[in-house]
Amino acid sequence: MPSAVPPSSDAAPAGSSSSSSGLHIAIVGGGITGVNLALGLQERGVSFTIYERSRGLREIGAGIGFSPNAEWAMGVLSGGVAAAYDRVANPNMEDYFQWVDGHGSDAVLFRLHVGRDGFRGCRRSDILEEWAKQLPPARVEFGKEIEAISDGDGTPLELQFRDGTSATADVVVGCDGIHSQIRQLVLPKTSAAARANYTHKFCFRALVPMERAVAAIGNYRAGARFMYNGPGAHVVTYPVGNNTVLNVLAVLSDAEAWSPPAESGGEQGKRHTASGNKQEAVAAFAGWHGTVRRIVDLLPDEMDKWAVFDMAEHPAPTYVRDCVCVAGDAAHATGPHLGAGGGMGIEDALVLSELLAAVDRRLAIGGAGTVAEPKTVLVKAALATYNDVRYERTQDVVQSTRAACDLFQWQNPAVGSDGAKFGHEITKRFYKVWNYDVEAMVQDALVQFGVRVDQD
Protein backbone atom coordinates (compact mmCIF):
# COMPACT_ATOMS: atom_id res chain seq x y z
CA MET A 1 0.00 0.00 0.00
CA PRO A 2 1.67 3.26 -1.04
CA SER A 3 2.11 5.76 1.77
CA ALA A 4 1.78 9.52 1.39
CA VAL A 5 4.50 11.83 2.62
CA PRO A 6 3.26 13.40 5.87
CA PRO A 7 1.58 16.80 5.50
CA SER A 8 3.37 19.98 6.35
CA SER A 9 2.23 20.05 9.99
CA ASP A 10 5.45 18.29 11.00
CA ALA A 11 7.64 20.74 9.09
CA ALA A 12 10.52 22.57 10.72
CA PRO A 13 9.63 25.79 12.54
CA ALA A 14 8.72 28.78 10.40
CA GLY A 15 11.39 31.38 9.82
CA SER A 16 14.34 29.00 9.84
CA SER A 17 16.73 29.59 6.94
CA SER A 18 18.72 26.39 7.07
CA SER A 19 17.38 22.87 6.96
CA SER A 20 18.39 20.03 9.22
CA SER A 21 18.91 17.65 6.27
CA GLY A 22 21.35 19.87 4.39
CA LEU A 23 18.99 20.30 1.43
CA HIS A 24 19.64 23.68 -0.17
CA ILE A 25 17.60 25.31 -2.93
CA ALA A 26 18.93 27.92 -5.37
CA ILE A 27 16.14 30.18 -6.63
CA VAL A 28 17.18 32.06 -9.76
CA GLY A 29 15.17 35.27 -10.06
CA GLY A 30 13.46 37.37 -7.41
CA GLY A 31 10.15 38.27 -9.08
CA ILE A 32 6.68 37.21 -7.88
CA THR A 33 7.42 33.49 -8.33
CA GLY A 34 10.93 33.46 -6.83
CA VAL A 35 9.99 35.56 -3.79
CA ASN A 36 6.88 33.47 -3.09
CA LEU A 37 8.88 30.27 -3.40
CA ALA A 38 11.46 31.66 -0.98
CA LEU A 39 8.76 32.62 1.53
CA GLY A 40 7.11 29.21 1.17
CA LEU A 41 10.42 27.41 1.80
CA GLN A 42 11.21 29.71 4.71
CA GLU A 43 7.84 28.93 6.28
CA ARG A 44 8.63 25.21 6.00
CA GLY A 45 12.20 25.46 7.29
CA VAL A 46 13.92 24.60 4.00
CA SER A 47 17.23 26.32 3.20
CA PHE A 48 17.39 28.57 0.11
CA THR A 49 19.19 31.45 -1.55
CA ILE A 50 17.69 33.77 -4.17
CA TYR A 51 20.11 34.80 -6.94
CA GLU A 52 18.78 37.92 -8.67
CA ARG A 53 20.53 39.64 -11.55
CA SER A 54 19.29 43.16 -10.62
CA ARG A 55 20.66 45.32 -7.82
CA GLY A 56 17.45 44.94 -5.78
CA LEU A 57 14.04 43.29 -5.72
CA ARG A 58 12.08 45.65 -7.92
CA GLU A 59 8.88 45.77 -9.89
CA ILE A 60 7.77 48.28 -12.46
CA GLY A 61 5.34 51.11 -11.64
CA ALA A 62 2.16 49.40 -12.77
CA GLY A 63 -0.76 47.56 -11.25
CA ILE A 64 -1.46 43.87 -10.88
CA GLY A 65 -4.60 42.01 -9.82
CA PHE A 66 -4.54 38.65 -8.07
CA SER A 67 -7.41 36.27 -8.78
CA PRO A 68 -9.21 34.28 -6.04
CA ASN A 69 -7.14 31.13 -6.65
CA ALA A 70 -3.95 33.17 -6.26
CA GLU A 71 -5.17 34.60 -2.95
CA TRP A 72 -6.01 31.10 -1.75
CA ALA A 73 -2.53 29.89 -2.73
CA MET A 74 -0.96 32.81 -0.85
CA GLY A 75 -2.83 31.83 2.33
CA VAL A 76 -1.67 28.20 2.14
CA LEU A 77 1.87 29.22 1.18
CA SER A 78 2.37 31.40 4.25
CA GLY A 79 0.23 33.58 6.48
CA GLY A 80 2.80 36.35 5.97
CA VAL A 81 2.38 36.28 2.18
CA ALA A 82 -1.40 36.62 2.40
CA ALA A 83 -1.25 39.29 5.14
CA ALA A 84 1.15 41.34 3.02
CA TYR A 85 -1.31 41.24 0.13
CA ASP A 86 -4.17 42.28 2.43
CA ARG A 87 -2.15 45.33 3.48
CA VAL A 88 -1.73 46.62 -0.09
CA ALA A 89 -4.71 45.22 -2.01
CA ASN A 90 -7.34 47.71 -3.14
CA PRO A 91 -10.95 46.49 -3.03
CA ASN A 92 -13.07 47.34 -6.04
CA MET A 93 -16.15 49.44 -5.43
CA GLU A 94 -18.25 46.42 -6.49
CA ASP A 95 -17.63 42.66 -6.52
CA TYR A 96 -18.07 42.54 -10.29
CA PHE A 97 -15.75 42.63 -13.29
CA GLN A 98 -17.64 44.56 -15.98
CA TRP A 99 -17.08 44.60 -19.73
CA VAL A 100 -18.20 47.61 -21.74
CA ASP A 101 -18.65 48.15 -25.47
CA GLY A 102 -15.75 50.59 -25.63
CA HIS A 103 -16.09 51.24 -29.32
CA GLY A 104 -19.77 52.00 -29.91
CA SER A 105 -22.31 52.40 -27.14
CA ASP A 106 -20.33 52.55 -23.85
CA ALA A 107 -23.00 50.13 -22.54
CA VAL A 108 -22.11 47.31 -20.17
CA LEU A 109 -21.93 44.07 -22.18
CA PHE A 110 -21.47 41.68 -19.29
CA ARG A 111 -20.91 41.59 -15.48
CA LEU A 112 -19.01 38.74 -13.84
CA HIS A 113 -19.24 38.17 -10.09
CA VAL A 114 -15.73 37.97 -8.63
CA GLY A 115 -16.69 36.83 -5.12
CA ARG A 116 -16.52 38.94 -1.99
CA ASP A 117 -13.60 41.35 -2.35
CA GLY A 118 -12.34 39.17 -5.20
CA PHE A 119 -9.79 40.09 -7.87
CA ARG A 120 -8.37 43.07 -6.01
CA GLY A 121 -5.52 45.06 -7.49
CA CYS A 122 -2.37 46.62 -6.06
CA ARG A 123 0.77 48.40 -7.19
CA ARG A 124 3.38 45.80 -8.17
CA SER A 125 6.09 47.67 -6.30
CA ASP A 126 3.98 47.74 -3.09
CA ILE A 127 3.38 44.01 -2.95
CA LEU A 128 6.93 43.00 -3.86
CA GLU A 129 8.26 45.35 -1.17
CA GLU A 130 5.88 43.89 1.46
CA TRP A 131 6.92 40.34 0.57
CA ALA A 132 10.63 41.16 0.35
CA LYS A 133 10.59 42.63 3.88
CA GLN A 134 9.95 39.10 5.18
CA LEU A 135 13.14 37.67 3.65
CA PRO A 136 16.41 37.68 5.64
CA PRO A 137 18.87 39.84 3.62
CA ALA A 138 21.51 37.11 3.83
CA ARG A 139 19.27 34.82 1.76
CA VAL A 140 19.19 37.13 -1.29
CA GLU A 141 22.21 37.81 -3.50
CA PHE A 142 21.99 40.63 -6.02
CA GLY A 143 23.95 41.19 -9.23
CA LYS A 144 23.94 37.43 -9.87
CA GLU A 145 22.98 36.72 -13.45
CA ILE A 146 22.98 33.00 -14.10
CA GLU A 147 24.91 31.78 -17.11
CA ALA A 148 25.27 28.05 -16.67
CA ILE A 149 24.67 25.12 -14.36
CA SER A 150 27.03 22.16 -14.13
CA ASP A 151 25.74 19.25 -16.16
CA GLY A 152 26.28 16.50 -13.60
CA ASP A 153 23.52 14.10 -12.68
CA GLY A 154 24.22 14.18 -8.94
CA THR A 155 24.26 17.02 -6.45
CA PRO A 156 25.44 19.50 -5.55
CA LEU A 157 24.86 21.42 -8.73
CA GLU A 158 27.19 24.29 -9.48
CA LEU A 159 25.71 27.59 -10.64
CA GLN A 160 27.96 29.91 -12.63
CA PHE A 161 27.22 33.62 -12.75
CA ARG A 162 28.15 36.28 -15.26
CA ASP A 163 30.36 38.06 -12.68
CA GLY A 164 32.64 35.02 -12.59
CA THR A 165 31.44 33.74 -9.21
CA SER A 166 29.75 30.42 -8.53
CA ALA A 167 27.54 28.76 -5.93
CA THR A 168 26.28 25.28 -5.15
CA ALA A 169 22.82 23.89 -4.43
CA ASP A 170 20.96 20.57 -4.44
CA VAL A 171 18.07 21.96 -6.49
CA VAL A 172 17.92 24.90 -8.91
CA VAL A 173 14.54 26.50 -9.53
CA GLY A 174 14.54 28.94 -12.43
CA CYS A 175 12.09 31.72 -11.61
CA ASP A 176 13.85 33.97 -14.11
CA GLY A 177 10.84 35.08 -16.09
CA ILE A 178 9.66 35.08 -19.65
CA HIS A 179 13.13 35.13 -21.26
CA SER A 180 14.43 32.50 -18.85
CA GLN A 181 18.02 31.39 -19.09
CA ILE A 182 17.28 28.33 -16.96
CA ARG A 183 14.58 27.22 -19.43
CA GLN A 184 17.28 27.15 -22.07
CA LEU A 185 19.34 24.90 -19.80
CA VAL A 186 16.40 22.59 -19.01
CA LEU A 187 15.33 22.11 -22.64
CA PRO A 188 17.51 20.93 -25.52
CA LYS A 189 19.29 23.90 -27.11
CA THR A 190 17.46 23.34 -30.40
CA SER A 191 13.99 23.36 -28.80
CA ALA A 192 11.70 26.10 -30.16
CA ALA A 193 10.20 26.30 -26.66
CA ALA A 194 13.48 27.56 -25.24
CA ARG A 195 12.30 31.05 -26.27
CA ALA A 196 8.97 32.88 -25.89
CA ASN A 197 7.33 34.44 -28.94
CA TYR A 198 5.68 37.77 -29.73
CA THR A 199 1.87 37.44 -29.64
CA HIS A 200 1.33 40.41 -31.97
CA LYS A 201 -0.14 42.39 -29.08
CA PHE A 202 1.56 45.23 -27.29
CA CYS A 203 0.38 47.45 -24.48
CA PHE A 204 0.66 50.82 -22.84
CA ARG A 205 0.44 50.81 -19.05
CA ALA A 206 0.21 53.69 -16.60
CA LEU A 207 -0.87 54.66 -13.09
CA VAL A 208 -3.04 57.78 -13.29
CA PRO A 209 -3.73 60.01 -10.24
CA MET A 210 -7.28 59.27 -9.10
CA GLU A 211 -8.47 62.92 -9.14
CA ARG A 212 -7.66 63.12 -12.86
CA ALA A 213 -9.32 59.76 -13.54
CA VAL A 214 -12.49 60.72 -11.65
CA ALA A 215 -12.63 64.05 -13.48
CA ALA A 216 -12.42 62.19 -16.81
CA ILE A 217 -14.75 59.22 -16.29
CA GLY A 218 -16.49 59.74 -12.95
CA ASN A 219 -16.34 58.01 -9.56
CA TYR A 220 -18.00 54.76 -10.51
CA ARG A 221 -15.99 53.92 -13.63
CA ALA A 222 -12.76 54.87 -11.83
CA GLY A 223 -13.60 53.01 -8.62
CA ALA A 224 -14.51 49.56 -9.92
CA ARG A 225 -12.90 47.01 -12.29
CA PHE A 226 -13.81 47.61 -15.95
CA MET A 227 -12.69 46.48 -19.36
CA TYR A 228 -13.54 48.27 -22.59
CA ASN A 229 -13.80 45.85 -25.54
CA GLY A 230 -13.55 46.74 -29.21
CA PRO A 231 -12.13 45.83 -32.62
CA GLY A 232 -8.45 44.88 -32.37
CA ALA A 233 -7.85 46.46 -28.94
CA HIS A 234 -9.08 46.67 -25.35
CA VAL A 235 -8.49 48.79 -22.25
CA VAL A 236 -8.53 47.58 -18.62
CA THR A 237 -8.91 49.89 -15.60
CA TYR A 238 -9.00 49.26 -11.85
CA PRO A 239 -8.08 51.27 -8.75
CA VAL A 240 -4.87 50.58 -6.79
CA GLY A 241 -2.77 52.29 -4.11
CA ASN A 242 -5.60 52.74 -1.61
CA ASN A 243 -7.74 54.38 -4.32
CA THR A 244 -5.09 57.03 -5.03
CA VAL A 245 -4.36 55.86 -8.58
CA LEU A 246 -6.17 54.20 -11.48
CA ASN A 247 -4.27 51.39 -13.19
CA VAL A 248 -4.70 51.68 -16.97
CA LEU A 249 -3.66 48.97 -19.42
CA ALA A 250 -4.37 49.49 -23.12
CA VAL A 251 -3.70 46.43 -25.31
CA LEU A 252 -3.39 46.77 -29.10
CA SER A 253 -3.08 44.29 -31.94
CA ASP A 254 -0.04 44.56 -34.16
CA ALA A 255 0.46 42.87 -37.53
CA GLU A 256 4.22 43.50 -37.55
CA ALA A 257 7.08 41.50 -36.07
CA TRP A 258 8.51 42.83 -32.79
CA SER A 259 12.03 44.14 -33.17
CA PRO A 260 13.79 44.95 -29.93
CA PRO A 261 15.16 48.49 -30.00
CA ALA A 262 18.84 48.72 -30.88
CA GLU A 263 19.63 50.40 -27.55
CA SER A 264 18.59 47.25 -25.64
CA GLY A 265 21.55 45.43 -27.17
CA GLY A 266 19.35 42.34 -26.97
CA GLU A 267 19.56 42.59 -23.16
CA GLN A 268 17.02 40.19 -21.70
CA GLY A 269 14.97 42.54 -19.52
CA LYS A 270 14.70 45.20 -22.23
CA ARG A 271 13.89 43.01 -25.19
CA HIS A 272 10.15 43.46 -24.86
CA THR A 273 9.94 47.22 -24.43
CA ALA A 274 10.31 50.08 -26.90
CA SER A 275 9.77 53.81 -26.50
CA GLY A 276 6.28 54.93 -27.33
CA ASN A 277 4.12 57.97 -26.79
CA LYS A 278 0.59 59.05 -26.11
CA GLN A 279 0.00 60.18 -29.70
CA GLU A 280 0.28 56.58 -30.86
CA ALA A 281 -2.32 55.45 -28.33
CA VAL A 282 -4.61 58.40 -29.10
CA ALA A 283 -4.46 57.57 -32.83
CA ALA A 284 -5.19 53.88 -32.20
CA PHE A 285 -8.35 54.67 -30.21
CA ALA A 286 -9.48 57.67 -32.29
CA GLY A 287 -12.69 56.04 -33.54
CA TRP A 288 -13.71 54.70 -30.11
CA HIS A 289 -16.34 55.92 -27.66
CA GLY A 290 -15.58 59.14 -25.75
CA THR A 291 -15.11 57.25 -22.45
CA VAL A 292 -12.21 55.25 -23.88
CA ARG A 293 -10.75 58.32 -25.55
CA ARG A 294 -10.84 60.16 -22.23
CA ILE A 295 -9.07 57.25 -20.53
CA VAL A 296 -6.39 57.14 -23.22
CA ASP A 297 -5.97 60.89 -22.87
CA LEU A 298 -4.92 60.31 -19.23
CA LEU A 299 -1.78 58.44 -20.35
CA PRO A 300 1.57 60.24 -19.98
CA ASP A 301 3.09 61.90 -23.07
CA GLU A 302 6.11 59.58 -23.13
CA MET A 303 5.85 55.93 -22.11
CA ASP A 304 7.15 52.51 -23.02
CA LYS A 305 5.33 50.11 -25.30
CA TRP A 306 5.36 46.59 -23.82
CA ALA A 307 5.35 43.68 -26.23
CA VAL A 308 3.31 40.73 -25.01
CA PHE A 309 5.29 37.49 -25.37
CA ASP A 310 4.05 34.02 -24.49
CA MET A 311 4.80 30.34 -25.05
CA ALA A 312 1.46 29.36 -26.61
CA GLU A 313 2.95 28.40 -29.97
CA HIS A 314 5.90 26.49 -28.58
CA PRO A 315 5.06 25.20 -25.10
CA ALA A 316 7.91 23.73 -23.07
CA PRO A 317 7.46 19.93 -23.24
CA THR A 318 8.61 19.69 -19.62
CA TYR A 319 9.43 22.05 -16.73
CA VAL A 320 12.08 19.74 -15.25
CA ARG A 321 15.46 18.24 -16.01
CA ASP A 322 16.89 16.11 -13.21
CA CYS A 323 17.39 18.42 -10.21
CA VAL A 324 16.69 21.63 -12.15
CA CYS A 325 13.26 23.05 -12.92
CA VAL A 326 11.51 26.21 -14.06
CA ALA A 327 8.49 27.89 -12.47
CA GLY A 328 6.25 30.89 -13.15
CA ASP A 329 6.78 32.71 -16.44
CA ALA A 330 10.03 30.81 -16.97
CA ALA A 331 7.96 27.63 -17.36
CA HIS A 332 4.71 28.84 -18.94
CA ALA A 333 4.93 32.47 -19.97
CA THR A 334 1.45 33.76 -20.65
CA GLY A 335 -0.12 37.02 -21.76
CA PRO A 336 -1.80 39.31 -19.23
CA HIS A 337 -5.35 38.98 -20.53
CA LEU A 338 -6.83 36.66 -17.88
CA GLY A 339 -4.79 38.33 -15.13
CA ALA A 340 -3.56 34.87 -14.20
CA GLY A 341 0.21 34.66 -14.84
CA GLY A 342 1.27 35.91 -11.40
CA GLY A 343 -1.19 33.59 -9.70
CA MET A 344 0.14 30.59 -11.65
CA GLY A 345 3.63 31.43 -10.35
CA ILE A 346 2.31 31.52 -6.77
CA GLU A 347 0.58 28.15 -7.22
CA ASP A 348 3.86 26.73 -8.62
CA ALA A 349 5.70 28.16 -5.60
CA LEU A 350 3.23 26.50 -3.24
CA VAL A 351 3.57 23.03 -4.80
CA LEU A 352 7.36 23.30 -4.96
CA SER A 353 7.57 24.47 -1.32
CA GLU A 354 5.48 21.55 -0.14
CA LEU A 355 7.34 18.96 -2.20
CA LEU A 356 10.81 20.23 -1.31
CA ALA A 357 9.78 20.35 2.36
CA ALA A 358 8.68 16.72 1.99
CA VAL A 359 12.13 15.85 0.58
CA ASP A 360 13.73 17.71 3.46
CA ARG A 361 11.71 15.74 6.01
CA ARG A 362 12.52 12.40 4.36
CA LEU A 363 16.21 13.27 4.42
CA ALA A 364 16.08 14.44 8.03
CA ILE A 365 14.41 11.18 9.10
CA GLY A 366 16.73 8.94 7.06
CA GLY A 367 19.94 10.95 7.37
CA ALA A 368 21.08 13.00 4.39
CA GLY A 369 22.36 11.00 1.45
CA THR A 370 21.55 7.54 2.79
CA VAL A 371 21.92 4.66 0.38
CA ALA A 372 18.20 3.85 0.56
CA GLU A 373 17.04 7.32 -0.45
CA PRO A 374 19.88 9.38 -1.90
CA LYS A 375 19.15 13.06 -2.07
CA THR A 376 19.09 13.16 -5.86
CA VAL A 377 16.50 10.36 -6.07
CA LEU A 378 14.16 12.23 -3.74
CA VAL A 379 14.71 15.56 -5.47
CA LYS A 380 14.08 14.08 -8.91
CA ALA A 381 10.90 12.39 -7.64
CA ALA A 382 9.71 15.69 -6.15
CA LEU A 383 10.38 17.68 -9.32
CA ALA A 384 8.79 15.03 -11.54
CA THR A 385 5.70 15.27 -9.33
CA TYR A 386 5.74 19.07 -9.57
CA ASN A 387 5.78 18.74 -13.36
CA ASP A 388 2.87 16.26 -13.36
CA VAL A 389 0.71 18.31 -11.02
CA ARG A 390 1.29 21.68 -12.66
CA TYR A 391 1.69 20.99 -16.36
CA GLU A 392 -1.88 20.67 -17.63
CA ARG A 393 -3.33 23.54 -15.62
CA THR A 394 -0.62 26.02 -16.50
CA GLN A 395 -0.60 25.12 -20.20
CA ASP A 396 -4.35 25.52 -20.28
CA VAL A 397 -4.03 29.03 -18.90
CA VAL A 398 -1.54 29.99 -21.62
CA GLN A 399 -3.91 28.89 -24.39
CA SER A 400 -7.03 30.23 -22.72
CA THR A 401 -5.38 33.63 -22.23
CA ARG A 402 -4.89 33.96 -25.98
CA ALA A 403 -8.51 32.97 -26.62
CA ALA A 404 -9.69 35.52 -24.02
CA CYS A 405 -7.81 38.30 -25.80
CA ASP A 406 -9.57 37.38 -29.05
CA LEU A 407 -12.89 37.69 -27.21
CA PHE A 408 -12.02 41.13 -25.80
CA GLN A 409 -10.85 42.37 -29.20
CA TRP A 410 -13.85 41.01 -31.14
CA GLN A 411 -11.56 38.64 -33.04
CA ASN A 412 -13.60 35.50 -32.34
CA PRO A 413 -15.95 35.35 -35.36
CA ALA A 414 -18.52 33.17 -33.55
CA VAL A 415 -18.86 35.75 -30.75
CA GLY A 416 -17.95 39.14 -32.19
CA SER A 417 -19.40 41.97 -30.09
CA ASP A 418 -22.40 39.96 -28.82
CA GLY A 419 -22.57 40.54 -25.05
CA ALA A 420 -24.47 37.34 -24.20
CA LYS A 421 -22.17 35.07 -26.21
CA PHE A 422 -19.17 36.91 -24.83
CA GLY A 423 -20.42 36.50 -21.26
CA HIS A 424 -20.88 32.77 -21.71
CA GLU A 425 -17.39 32.24 -23.15
CA ILE A 426 -15.49 34.51 -20.79
CA THR A 427 -17.21 33.17 -17.66
CA LYS A 428 -15.99 29.66 -18.51
CA ARG A 429 -12.43 30.88 -18.90
CA PHE A 430 -12.21 33.01 -15.75
CA TYR A 431 -14.03 30.53 -13.53
CA LYS A 432 -11.78 27.70 -14.70
CA VAL A 433 -8.78 29.68 -13.43
CA TRP A 434 -10.44 30.92 -10.26
CA ASN A 435 -12.46 27.88 -9.10
CA TYR A 436 -9.49 25.67 -8.45
CA ASP A 437 -8.95 23.72 -5.24
CA VAL A 438 -5.47 24.77 -4.23
CA GLU A 439 -5.41 22.57 -1.13
CA ALA A 440 -6.46 19.50 -3.11
CA MET A 441 -3.59 20.25 -5.52
CA VAL A 442 -1.11 20.18 -2.61
CA GLN A 443 -2.52 16.95 -1.21
CA ASP A 444 -2.45 15.37 -4.67
CA ALA A 445 1.21 16.38 -5.07
CA LEU A 446 2.21 14.96 -1.67
CA VAL A 447 0.43 11.68 -2.32
CA GLN A 448 2.00 11.35 -5.80
CA PHE A 449 5.44 12.07 -4.38
CA GLY A 450 4.99 9.42 -1.68
CA VAL A 451 3.86 6.86 -4.24
CA ARG A 452 6.80 7.67 -6.50
CA VAL A 453 9.36 7.37 -3.72
CA ASP A 454 7.89 4.15 -2.35
CA GLN A 455 7.87 2.55 -5.80
CA ASP A 456 11.43 3.58 -6.61
Site membership for ligand FAD, residue 239 (CB under 6 A): no
Tell me whether residue 381 or residue 405 sits nearer to ligand FAD (CB atom): 405
**Residue 80 found at the interface with ligand FAD (CB under 6 A):** no
Which CB, 130 or 176, lies closer to ligand FAD? 176
Q: Indicate which residue of 53, 123, 183, 205 is catalytic.
A: 205
Q: What is the distance between the alpha carbons of residues 71 and 120, in angstroms, rounded to a whole number?
A: 10
Give residue number: closest CB to ligand FAD.
Answer: 31
> Residue 418: which residues within 8 A CB-CB, separation 6 or more?
none
Please check whether residue 63 is in contact with residue 207, taking contact to mean a CB–CB distance below 8 angstroms: yes
CA–CA distance, 72 with 82 (Å, rounded to integer): 8
Residue 443 identity: Q
Q: Which stretch in 276-284, 315-323, 329-337, 385-393 sits in contact with ligand FAD by CB under 6 A?
A: 329-337
Q: Is residue 322 left, alpha or beta, with left meaning phi > 0 and alpha meaning psi from -120 to 50?
A: left
| CA–CA distance, 435 with 191 (Å, rounded to integer) | 33
Q: Which runs of E-coded beta strand occur in 265-323?
A: 273-277, 302-310, 320-321
241 makes contact with ligand FAD (CB under 6 A): no
| Binding segment toward ligand FAD, per CB under 6 A, in 63-71, 132-140, 223-231, 353-361 | 63-71
Which one, 155 or 184, has the nearer CB to ligand FAD?
184
Q: Is 328 in the site for ligand FAD (CB under 6 A)?
A: yes
DSSP letter, residue 135: S
Count of residues interacting with ligand FAD (CB under 6 A) = 38
- Residue 33 sits in the site that holds ligand FAD (CB under 6 A): yes
Structural contact between residues 252 and 233, judged by C-beta atoms closer than 8 angstroms: yes
Shortest distance, CB of residue 215 to ligand FAD, whole angstroms?
A: 25
Interface positions, 109-148, toward ligand FAD (CB under 6 A): 144-146
**Options 208, 339, 375, 386; binder of ligand FAD; rule CB under 6 A:** 339
331 or 381: CB nearest ligand FAD = 331
Q: Work out whether 310 is an interface residue with ligand FAD (CB under 6 A).
A: no
- According to DSSP, the β-strands at 197-209 and 245-253 are antiparallel
Spatial neighbors of 247 by CB under 8 A, at least 6 apart, are: 62, 63, 121, 205, 206, 207, 236, 237, 238, 239, 240
Q: What is the rounded CA–CA span in Å between residue 20 and residue 12? A: 8
CB 170 within 8 A of CB 158: no
Residue 315 contacts ligand FAD per CB under 6 A: no
Tell me if residue 205 is catalytic. yes
Cα 425 from chain centroid? 23
User: Of the candidates 29, 45, 68, 80, which one interacts with ligand FAD according to CB under 6 A?
Assistant: 29
Residue 343 CA, chain-centre distance (Å), reads 5
Contact segment (CB under 6 A) with ligand FAD among 175-183, 361-369, 432-440, 444-452 equals 175-183
> Hey, which residues between 252 and 281 contact ligand FAD (CB under 6 A)?
268-269
Contact pattern from residue 42 through residue 61 relative to ligand FAD, giving x for each residue in contact according to CB under 6 A and a dash for the rest: ---------xxxx-------
Gap between the Cα atoms of 221 and 390, Å rounded:
37
By CB under 6 A, the residues from 205 to 234 that bind ligand FAD are 205
Q: Which of 12, 19, 27, 31 binds ligand FAD (CB under 6 A)?
A: 31
Q: How far is the CB of 368 from ligand FAD (least distance, A)?
A: 27
Question: DSSP labels for 158-218?
Answer: EEEETTS-EEEESEEEE---TT-HHHHHHS-TT-GGGS-EEEEEEEEEEEEEHHHHHHHHH
- Position among 80, 118, 223, 343 found at the interface with ligand FAD (CB under 6 A): 343
Among 40, 118, 342, 450, binds ligand FAD (CB under 6 A): 342
The Cα 396–Cα 401 span in angstroms is 8
Question: Where on the chain is the footprint of ligand FAD (CB under 6 A)?
Answer: 28-34, 51-54, 64-66, 144-146, 175-178, 181, 203, 205, 249, 268-269, 306, 328-330, 336, 339-343, 345
Residues designated as active site: 205
